[in-house]
Amino acid sequence: MRVTRRQLRRIIKEELHREIAVSAEPHRCFGGGMVPFGSDECVADIEMRIEDSTALRNSCDTRTDSRDYHNGILKVLRRDLRSSRKENILLHAPDENQV
């Protein structure tokens, strides 16, 4: 049986989605609900947390332990946001047949 490029791309895309669904840890939103990591809700929740943490950090005096603490939290949140955006792109990649 011969597989076309289009069929091969579809198979690879389906496998990537299956791997993401199995390996991805769920994300607990601020409200307590669980959503898949990389989903639109996950990305929005992390962005909201970054905005909130930035406001808290900016309210601290410079060169204080509190400001350092919030900078650490922001570093982790930004890393999580980058990862979740990558997952989101894979989840919402357009099908070649639709383009």
**What does the pLDDT read at residue 66?**
95
CA distance 68 to 83: 23
What are the pLDDT digits (tens) for 43-84? 999 999 999 999 999 999 999 999 999 999 999 999 999 999
Q: How many CB atoms lie within 10 A of CB 27?
A: 20
Asked whether the CA dihedral 48, 31, 72, 36 is positive or negative, the reply is negative
- The 3-class secondary structure across 40-82, one letter per residue, is HHHHHHHHHHHHHHHHHHHCCCCCCHHHHHHHHHHHHHHHHHH
Q: How confident is the model at residue 41 (pLDDT cuts 50, 70, 90)?
A: very high
- Give 80-89 pLDDT, tens digit per residue: 999 999 988 8
pTM over 0.75: no
> Tokens at residue 47, please?
């962005």
- Tokens 């898949």 map to which residue? 36
pLDDT at 11: 81
> Which is more confident, 14 or 54?
54
